[in-house]
Amino acid sequence: IDQTAVQHALARQDQLTKPPGSLGRLEELAVRLAGLQRTATPEVDPVRVLLFAADHGVAAEGVSRYPQDVTKQMVRNIANGGAGVAVMAKAVGAGLDIIELGLATGSEVVEGVRSEPLGPGSGNIAREPAMTPEQLARALDIGRDAVDRAVDAGVRLIIGGELGIANTTAAAALASALLDRAASEVVGPGTGLDSAGVNRKAEVVARALALHASEPRAPLEMLRRLGGFEIAALTGAYLRAAQRGVAMLIDGFIVSSAALAAVRLQPAARDWMLFSHRSAEPGHRLMMEALEADPLLDLGFRLGEATGACAAVPLLRLACAVHRDMATFDEAGVSNAC
Amino acid sequence: IDQTAVQHALARQDQLTKPPGSLGRLEELAVRLAGLQRTATPEVDPVRVLLFAADHGVAAEGVSRYPQDVTKQMVRNIANGGAGVAVMAKAVGAGLDIIELGLATGSEVVEGVRSEPLGPGSGNIAREPAMTPEQLARALDIGRDAVDRAVDAGVRLIIGGELGIANTTAAAALASALLDRAASEVVGPGTGLDSAGVNRKAEVVARALALHASEPRAPLEMLRRLGGFEIAALTGAYLRAAQRGVAMLIDGFIVSSAALAAVRLQPAARDWMLFSHRSAEPGHRLMMEALEADPLLDLGFRLGEATGACAAVPLLRLACAVHRDMATFDEAGVSNAC
């Protein structure tokens, strides 16, 4: 963060025709973006959602209310414009890059979907590592490449999104390991498990943690063993966005596990992250605390896909508009405070 | 609220390709708007901000950090596009109707401002009633007429906004009286008083409450004695929007005192109110509790003018877009929960 740009932005905010601080977090956002972008006039457009989809072997443990076919069906639904993220990205004027990294019933050609299969889904983390080292490296690369495509096209705000039946289980396992928390503290209902289902899921995550516990506690190895293709791709994307110097808006529970992994791998990546919303998934709070994040919205979302981040995009735009377009006391001939 | 439309909207939400309830408050908003508008496809556009500005005699008690001239200066600044509400209304695509009801240094002709002066500002509530019965009636009418202009032009969402040096003092006095709370429970720093200033302001409000306490406890009389021209106009506007059957999005502290007065006068008006944000002004919470309101945003705003409501407009639009445009499980060929 460029401290000169931050100081200039703070000084400008105090000259705008409003009581100092009276636009609260919108002011913070404008100042932060000014510092990140090293400019007096921060902007978030163009915005692009990078949506990574993949299946998870751990679905075999009965940890989701939805059959595994739904991952592939939802990839089509996103591409066709019918899914939550498709409607919301369009409504807020964000681009959408859909990347499929491996489906249980095989990849298929879908218009508007980039297919980069690493296998028929990640391994069942309750029995084996999620990925081979080669799959992990490839997933990180796929995330990195998606960011490069976006940044090369001029994108100023990167949003990571995800889709994959059973991926709250993988994200909970990864978060538990990274945070050194018990499975039961991090696991939640995901797409809508009842309490018996949550208990079963916590037991599966606990089994996965026990299975992989003797391994080196390096974040990258935790990601390989407990994550998933799309979670690793998101980690690679977040690391790359920070390297390229582009702000990211973080969505909910699953992408936050990837953001946490990225920050453990490269603490400076945290600077480039803005946090959009508090997920209704209980373990999200623990990740936000670890990342010292105070998300903008709290609307009870637990859909994932990047929908929470899409909902926060208009606030970032407003922050930039206020910073750029409001008149100063001098310009407007308005008396400042007595 | 049309319960048939509500039931249809709830049924549609459960058929959309997402776990039921996973878009939280966006789903609630869509269902609520469907019920209010008696339609399967609720919409909030066009949106219009009705911005009522007036001076307050109580400014003479030293309750604001800003000189009273600022009201007139800010009316110009809003009309010229430089104020917070002007920038934000434009950024979110809301129309703006600026109505001036009386300035201490006299009205003036400003392009884009409707001037309807009721006097050089309301009376000093610490010494006299804010308004004569005639001024109150005229202010209510001005608010009503602004809503009629909007609704006749097809507006589907009404936002009330306000401007007036010292109007947090009047709003605090009115809220204290309506809620039967001590001045010290409702008074806050407004545009930025220090703690000594807040104490002085609370003492002024307490004096106003004591002066007018022997009068009949009817809400309309409280509004006349303790409110102000713009607060009364807002009350009239809210009552009229409910009569015309148009949804309103309520901003922060000052307009909420008018919303509370409107609901005390006509409890059914509450049905038409959506609440945009939690003001940083401490007394706002008490009004939200009394109105059983759970505002959408909590961003530390304390600017007023309707800026908090403007920030919430994109969420209402998203709620409508999701409800209308997301595919159902059947349409998308996506398997529903096991």
Per-residue pLDDT tens digits for A107-158: 999 999 999 999 999 999 999 999 999 999 999 999 999 999 999 999 999 9
Residue A214 has a pLDDT of 76
The answer on pLDDT for B144 being more than 90 is yes
Q: Judge if B247 and B142 occupy the same domain.
A: yes
Q: Judge if A86 and A27 occupy the same domain.
A: no
Query: Could you tell me if residue A337 is inside a domain?
Result: no
Total count of residues recorded for chain B: 338
Do B335 and A66 contact (CB within 8 A), yes or no? yes
What span, in angstroms and rounded, lies between the C-alpha atoms of B180 and A216? Answer: 63
DSSP state for residue B29 in the 8-state scheme: H
Q: Judge if A37 and A118 occupy the same domain.
A: no
Q: Which of A15, A85, A326 best tests the B interface by mutation, with the highest count of B CBs <10 A?
A: A326
Q: Judge if A116 and A163 occupy the same domain.
A: yes
What span, in angstroms and rounded, lies between the C-alpha atoms of B175 and B254? Answer: 9
Nearest to A87 among B66, B192, B322 (CB): B322
Query: Could you tell me if residue B67 is inside a domain?
Result: yes
Map tokens 């409504």 to a residue. A91
Q: Judge if A168 and A21 occupy the same domain.
A: no
- The phi and psi torsions of A193 (rounded to 5 degrees) equal -65, 150
Instruction: Please answer yes or no on whether B280 and A66 come within 8 Å at the CB atom.
Output: no
Instruction: Please answer yes or no on whether A67 and B335 come within 8 Å at the CB atom.
Output: yes
Instruction: Please answer yes or no on whether B19 and A91 come within 8 Å at the CB atom.
Output: no
Query: Could you tell me if residue B13 is inside a domain?
Result: yes
- The phi and psi torsions of B218 (rounded to 5 degrees) equal -70, 135
For residue B47, is it left (φ>0), alpha (ψ between -120 and 50) or beta? Answer: beta
Residue A44, classed as helix, strand or coil, is: coil
Q: Can you spell out the DSSP letters for B290-322?
A: HTT---SB-S-B---TTHHHHHHHHHHHHHHHH
DSSP state for residue A173 in the 8-state scheme: H
Residue A111 has a pLDDT of 95
* Cα separation values, A235 from A77, A144, A181, B244, B267, Å: 24, 9, 20, 52, 52
Q: Of the given ranges (A84-98, B202-216, B225-239, B316-330), which has the lowest mean pLDDT? A: B202-216
The CA-CA-CA angle for residues A103, A104, A107, to 5°, reads 40
Map tokens 């960011």 to a residue. A147
Instruction: Please answer yes or no on whether A318 and B301 come within 8 Å at the CB atom.
Output: no
Contacts of A296 in chain B (CB under 8 A): 299
Q: Which of A26, A85, A167 best tests the B interface by mutation, with the highest count of B CBs <10 A?
A: A26
For residue B214, name the pLDDT band (cuts at 50, 70, 90). Answer: confident
Query: Could you tell me if residue B154 is inside a domain?
Result: yes
What span, in angstroms and rounded, lies between the C-alpha atoms of B276 and B293? Answer: 10
What span, in angstroms and rounded, lies between the C-alpha atoms of A307 and A162? Answer: 10
Cis omega (within 30 of 0) on the bond before B282?
no
Residue B290 has a pLDDT of 98
Which residue of B lies nearest to A306 if distances are taken between CA atoms? B23
The answer on pLDDT for A338 being more than 80 is no
Across the range B260-285, mean pLDDT stands at: 97
Query: Could you tell me if residue A155 is inside a domain?
Result: yes
Residue A195 burial by Cβ neighbours in a 10 Å radius (0-12, 13-18, 19+): exposed
Spatial CA neighbour of B103 closest among B121, B76, B122, B79: B121
Query: Could you tell me if residue B338 is inside a domain?
Result: no
Across the range A31-56, mean pLDDT stands at: 98
Spatial CA neighbour of A336 closest among A21, A19, A7, A23: A19
- The phi and psi torsions of B13 (rounded to 5 degrees) equal -55, -40
Nearest to B24 among A23, A74, A300 (CB): A300
Q: Judge if A170 and A208 occupy the same domain.
A: yes
Quick one: tokens of A66?
A: 């939805």
- Quote the domain boundaries for residue B129: 47-315
Active site (catalytic) residues of B: 305
Residue B217 has a pLDDT of 80
What span, in angstroms and rounded, lies between the C-alpha atoms of B164 and B171? Answer: 11
DSSP state for residue B160 in the 8-state scheme: E
For residue A140, is it left (φ>0), alpha (ψ between -120 and 50) or beta? Answer: alpha
Do B74 and B54 contact (CB within 8 A), yes or no? no
Residue B39, classed as helix, strand or coil, is: coil
Cis omega (within 30 of 0) on the bond before A46?
yes
Q: Which residues lie below 8 Å from residue B184, measured CB to CB, with a gap of 6+?
A: B202, B206
Query: Could you tell me if residue A236 is inside a domain?
Result: yes
Instruction: Please answer yes or no on whether A296 and B300 come within 8 Å at the CB atom.
Output: no
Amino acid letter, residue A213 = A
Q: Judge if B27 and B141 occupy the same domain.
A: no
Q: Mind listing the pLDDT tens digit for each residue in A270-326? A: 999 999 999 999 899 999 999 999 999 999 999 999 999 999 999 999 999 999 999
- Rounded to a whole number of angstroms, the distance from the CA of B75 to the nearest CA of chain A is 10
What span, in angstroms and rounded, lies between the C-alpha atoms of A156 and A34? Answer: 12
Residue B278, classed as helix, strand or coil, is: coil
Question: What is the domain count for chain B?
Answer: 2
Q: Judge if B234 and B327 occupy the same domain.
A: no
- The phi and psi torsions of B301 (rounded to 5 degrees) equal -75, 145
What span, in angstroms and rounded, lies between the C-alpha atoms of B268 and B239? Answer: 9
Residue B329 has a pLDDT of 97
Q: Judge if A140 and A31 occupy the same domain.
A: no
Q: Which residues lie below 8 Å from residue A77, measured CB to CB, with a gap of 6+?
A: A83, A86, B17, B327, B332, B333, B334
Instruction: Please answer yes or no on whether A22 and B310 come within 8 Å at the CB atom.
Output: no
Return the CATH number at A30. Answer: 1.10.1610.10
Q: In what order do the strands lie in the sheet with A157-163?
A: A113-115, A94-100, A47-53, A157-163, A247-250, A273-275
Percent of chain B with pLDDT over 90: 96
Residue B337 has a pLDDT of 82
The answer on pLDDT for A223 being more than 90 is yes
Nearest to A335 among B66, B302, B327 (CB): B66
Q: Judge if B196 and B70 occupy the same domain.
A: yes
Q: Judge if B11 and B57 occupy the same domain.
A: no
* Mean pLDDT of the residues in chain B: 97
Nearest to A82 among B191, B314, B331 (CB): B331
- The phi and psi torsions of A108 (rounded to 5 degrees) equal -145, 160
Residue A213 has a pLDDT of 87
Give the side-chain half-sphere CA count within 13 A for B163: 34
Map tokens 């396992």 to a residue. A173
Return the CATH number at B165. Answer: 3.40.50.10210
Contacts of A23 in chain B (CB under 8 A): 84, 299, 301, 303, 307
Interface ipTM? 0.97
Spatial CA neighbour of A253 closest among A226, A285, A292, A296: A285
E strand or H helix at B110: none
Spatial CA neighbour of B72 closest among B152, B170, B164: B164
* Cα separation values, A102 from A106, B3, B38, B102, Å: 7, 45, 44, 67
What span, in angstroms and rounded, lies between the C-alpha atoms of A116 and A97? Answer: 13
Residue A9, classed as helix, strand or coil, is: helix
Q: Judge if B12 and B153 occupy the same domain.
A: no
Q: Can you spell out the DSSP letters for A97-115?
A: EEEE---TT-----TTEEE
What span, in angstroms and rounded, lies between the C-alpha atoms of A8 and A27? Answer: 13
Q: Give strand pairing partners of B301.
A: A23
The answer on pLDDT for A215 being more than 80 is no
Query: Could you tell me if residue B298 is inside a domain?
Result: yes
